[in-house]
Structure 1
Amino acid sequence: IFYKIALEINQDDLDIYYKLQEILDKKHQLSQEILELRRKIELNPNIKSYYNLAMALTRQQKWDEAVVAYRQAIEINPDLPWWFYYNVWEVFAREDKLSEILAFFQKFQKSNPDSCWSYLNIGEALTRLNKIEEAIPYYQSTCYQRTQKSYPELVSQPWNLEEVQGPNFIIIGVHKGGTTSLYSYLIQHPQIVPPIKKEMDFWSWKFNESINWYLAHFPAISKGKNFLTGEASPSYFDYPNAARRIFQFFPKIKLIILLRNPVDRTISQYYQWLRLNWENRSFEEAIQLDLERLTKAPEKVNYWMKELNYLARGVYVEFFKEWMSLFPREQFLILKSEDFYAYPEVTMGKVLKFLDLPEYQLSEYKNYNMGNYSPIDSSIRRSLNDYFQIHNQRLEKYLGMKFNWN
């Protein structure tokens, strides 16, 4: 609408014309995608097709239709970790359907009492309805069932919730730096008992949920048992007050962070947000706006501002200043993502040593959560390299480490 009005005012402006045409082309492509997905569902109705249809409908802001498609996907198999798909919950919340989907999961749980995912899905629905105290027992039940299956020796005695100590370690970042792969490798170690979620985002976005809500996600490990537990939420590293919040409750915790070339991290984040329907600008538009904001008056930049979505998150040195003003350096293990990708078994050895755990080799080091996208324009990459160069040098000086990203 904005571009149509602008074109009426400036009928000879080719830039506005081309931009309007680009938007109309995208809308047409999306409509064709929806038609194709509906045809696939007619031939073979399955979870993936319904889920993809709902995602496409949300991109067209057809929220009521998206709710129906998500609901159909869930009804095909309710016994899945639907709590993980936050876009599902956002659409249900937007259309005021959370109570309805909660009732559906509660009915399923009653007829399937051994389904740990149903407990977790109910907990998620209650949390999003701000019924925190009601949600906590469902998270605890999920944790009990999962631990009982994988570590029966920990639940051979009565489950004492007072023995829930919380995490021994946290992977704090960075976003799109390899945290999913690292966490997946770690929880395969026989002495690491995972919580019920990899990313809890408690110390960033969900701090209002109460510390008991957070602890309900972790197993009860008796003192003297040689097990560790921990989580991985990359939102923590660059979130205001996350470091102080963690320090207040767990001042001795071990902190692990993967640092990726900020140019590659920026590109990867953009394309992930595009897939999640959180971004509708072109890569060039999004990066150019960030560059303008950051370079206009660099001495006044607040790197913690979430409006600076992409580039600011790669100025790692600014965030380390906050974290290292609270935690001593020996509580950090700082890793280079590129080394981790190339030699995962070597990096894992460093992590296990840091956590005082015995070595443990995996049969396979699979890459998780990888994104695929076309190479970006070389001139844009040069602009990104130029911007990050001075900040990378500051980081190397501050940490006394070489990353050799430029």
Structure 2
Amino acid sequence: MSFDDCSLADSLKEEGKFQSAIALHETAVKLNPNSPSAYHSLGKALQQNGQIAEAVACHQKAILLQPNFTAAYFPLLYAPLPKDSPLIDSLVALYREVIEILPNFPLAYINLAVALSKQGKIQESIALFQTAVRLQTVASRPELSLVKWNFETGRSPDFIIIGSPRCGTTSLYKYITSHPQILPAANKEICFFSEHFNKGLAWYRSHFPPQQIDSHHFLTGEATPTYLTHPLAAERLHGCLPKVKLIVILRNPVDRAFSHYQMLVRRGTERRSFEKAIDSELQLIAGATEISLADRNHWKDCHYIYKSLYACSLKQWMNLFPRKQFLILQSEEFYANPAAILSQVFDFLDFPDFQLGNYQKYNGGDYQTVDEVASQRLREYFQPHDRKLAEYLNREFVW
């Protein structure tokens, strides 16, 4: 597909003309039947139109054409497939085939482990996560190939980025784990204390380098931005890791809400207009008090407004953990001066400073601008909540 055709397809999707955009991508596939990127682009368009099975098939085809085509793995990782979906069996077969071809490719092990976890095959998924974390660690830190990797003694994280979604957590985590003494988890967003707590601590710890790596003075951590507002995450995490360091990054709540909306639109799980989505959510939480919001009855149905009510969520966490275990960052400051914010993070982790040569933005995207009427409406709604946040943290947020 030419640059002009790509631009046209993107414009059609923004206008809600998904079938026309899909038709363009289908033409590109016919013209380039051996192009993994053509199938991947078609898959993204299909997923945005809610055609999940067809989208999965396209991403699978992209991987079959080029097993190390990393871009196709991520939509499959986050595809909204129920645990009893027959598509999971086809994905398991695909990932096993890739591992036969590329035995040192961590993404195949991670995706296979996630798929098997959905099927309840916990012990096999644990072994696969352990293999993935070893492969990706040794790839970036070759000296650790000389260490005996013994996973019998599990390792827990030293820090966790707990939120909030669409505030820059992916970029922040990438920067932090670029430090030569900080090792990433097998998968950045583990969701253990929210969605996978029933899989057990052994499953969780399998995502991290083993205990004996400590002798080399490394830290490790994860980043699951939905922990901040999950109804049970704070209590679960405190019960398991009472001394872990917690990093929170907050963004202008209006921008965060709209960015979250557009992400779910791209994933094909949100088909309403933004105005209808916020209307529905405002009705669900109408008349809610700080106490009723703390009950978190809105977790599954409220993505945009509820997850931007930062003060309410932080109070639940700070009732359990001492404030000295928190580092609160602001997204706008982070993107304006990532080097300075990263220095704060390393100081918080009691590690020497480390600066990157290039601060690439991760998990971004081409976003529309929120309608001014909707923006003003949300600004007015969030205003009292933002005041509560400033008072609670004794800090002003400029947004």
TM-score, scaled to structure 2: 0.88
- Which residue does 1:273 correspond to in 2? 264
Q: Which of 96, 111, 115 is 1:121 aligned to?
A: 111
Give the equivalent residue in structure 2 for 1:248: 239
Please point out which of 383, 389, 400 is paired with 2:394: 400
Distance across 2 between alignment mates of 1:142 and 1:199:
15
Match of 2:171 in 1: 181
- Return the index of the structure with the highest Cα Rg: 1
CA change 1:312–1:60 in 2 (3 A) is closer
1:75 corresponds to 2:75:
no
1:38-57 Cα distance to aligned partner (Å, 9 max, x none) = 11011123223212323333
Question: What do the CA deviations read for 1:65-104 (whole angstroms, capped 9, x no partner)?
Answer: 4443232122112335565324664358675122233123
Question: How many residue pairs get matched?
Answer: 381
Moved more, 152-161 or 348-357: 152-161
Residues 225 and 311 (structure 1 numbering): CA distance in 2 closer, same or farther, change over 3 Å? same
- For residues 201 and 41 of structure 2, the distance between their equivalents in structure 1, rounded to whole angstroms, comes to 35
Structure 2 letter corresponding to 1:393: R
Cα distance in 2 between the residues matched to 1:203 and 1:186: 21
- Which whole-Å CA distance do the structure 1 matches of 2:128 and 2:228 have between them? 29
Quote the Cα distance in structure 2 between the aligned partners of 1:134 and 1:320: 36
Secondary structure of 1:302's match? helix
User: What residue in structure 2 maps to residue 101 of structure 1?
Assistant: 91
Q: State the match for 1:39 in structure 2.
A: 27
User: What's the secondary structure of 1:148's corresponding residue?
Assistant: helix
Taking only the aligned residue pairs, the percentage that are identical comes to 38
Letter of the 2:57 counterpart: V
SS in 1 for 2:191: coil
Q: Distance in 1 between matches of 2:156 and 2:180?
A: 18
The whole-number CA distance in structure 2 between the counterparts of 1:337 and 1:241 is 25
Q: Please report the TM-score for the alignment, with normalisation by the length of structure 1.
A: 0.87
Structure-2 separation of matches of 1:48 and 1:109:
21
Aligned CA distance change for structure 1 residues 127 and 39 (closer, same or farther; 3 Å): same
| DSSP 3-state at the match of 1:193 | strand
1:234 and 2:225 matched: yes
User: Within the alignment, does 1:289 sit opposite 2:280 as a pair?
Assistant: yes
- Which of residues 337, 347, 353 in structure 1 aligns to 2:347? 353
Does the Cα contact within 8 Å between 1:171 and 1:234 map onto a contact in 2? Answer: yes
Q: Map 1:298-377 to 2 at 5 A.
A: 298=289, 301-302=292-293, 304=296, 305-306=298-299, 307-377=301-371
Shift of residue 200, structure 1, vs aligned partner: 0.8
CA contact (8 A) 1:173 1:237 kept: yes
Distance (Å, rounded) in 1 between the aligned partners of 2:362 and 2:192: 23
Q: 1:171·1:179 contact (CA, 8 Å) conserved in 2?
A: yes
**Aligned in 2, Cα 1:341/1:66: closer, same or farther, shift over 3 Å?**
closer
User: How many angstroms apart in 1 are the aligned matches of 2:154 and 2:46?
Assistant: 42
Does the 8 A contact of 1:50 with 1:70 survive in 2?
yes
Give the whole-Å Cα distance in 1 for the aligned partners of 2:15 and 2:337. 43
Counterpart residue identity of residue 271, structure 1 = Q
Provide the secondary structure at the position in 1 that maps to 2:246. Answer: strand
SS at match of 2:226: coil
- Higher relative CO (CA 8 A, sep ≥ 6), structure 1 or 2? 2
Instruction: Answer whether contact 1:167 1:230 (CA < 8 A) is retained.
Output: yes
3-state SS, counterpart of residue 371 of structure 1? coil
SS in 2 for 1:236: helix
> Aligned-residue CA RMSD in angstroms?
2.4
Residue number in structure 2 paired with 1:262 = 253
Q: Report the Cα distance in structure 2 between the residues aligned to 1:65 and 1:157, rounded to whole angstroms.
A: 44
**Mapped contact 1:80–1:117 kept (Cα < 8 A):** no
**Number of the residue aligned with 1:212:** 202
